[in-house]
Amino acid sequence: MVYKRRNIEYLLHLDAEDGRFKFAKRLRKKSTDAEKALWQELKGRKLMGYKFRRQHPIHYYIADFYCHEQRLIIEVDGKIHLKPEIKNHDKNRTEELSRLGIRIIRFSNEEVINKITNVKEKIKSFIINNPINHKAPSP
């Protein structure tokens, strides 16, 4: 038996439960228009040569887009994320994932749909200006 916290699956998914993988698969089948548009710009290592995964289970969460090389989550948020309770949940989620060494950047659906070039430039700028510390977090 492999010690789970030391294998590549732990590092890639941070102990995501099996149910998260099934839910992520369902989410991939019903992506929003904004998620579809951003995915067209990220898939196939189109952005700076980095591999992004969509609807990626990580820890207790599912990231809209995740780049393991950069330990970077990109979230595309609809109007529901403006509600105070959802904002609070997003804040807590960001703090928890940050403690695990994962960075998060967020864009609104409107920003992705109407300004995709700006979104790509912001992602590139984030990666360039915030180099990743490749040391894995402690379990």
User: Residue 131: how many CB atoms within 10 A of its CB?
Assistant: 8
Q: What is the pLDDT of residues 70-106, one digit of tens each?
A: 999 999 988 776 777 778 878 888 898 888 888 999 9
pLDDT, residue 7, reads 44
pLDDT, residue 83, reads 77
> Considering the domain boundaries, does residue 37 fall inside one?
yes
* DSSP annotation of 60: T
> Considering the domain boundaries, does residue 136 fall inside one?
no
pTM of the prediction? 0.77
> Considering the domain boundaries, does residue 79 fall inside one?
yes
CATH code, 45: 3.40.960.10
Residue with tokens 């839910």: 23
Question: Considering its fold, how many domains does the chain have in total?
Answer: 1
Q: CB-based contacts of 132: which residues, under 8 Å, 6+ apart?
A: 69, 70, 71, 72, 103
pLDDT, residue 17, reads 56
> Considering the domain boundaries, does residue 52 fall inside one?
yes
> Considering the domain boundaries, does residue 39 fall inside one?
yes
Domain that holds residue 99: 4-129
Q: What is the pLDDT of residues 9-62, one digit of tens each?
A: 445 555 555 666 665 566 667 788 999 999 999 999 999 999 999 988 887 788
> Considering the domain boundaries, does residue 139 fall inside one?
no
pLDDT, residue 13, reads 58
pLDDT, residue 2, reads 35
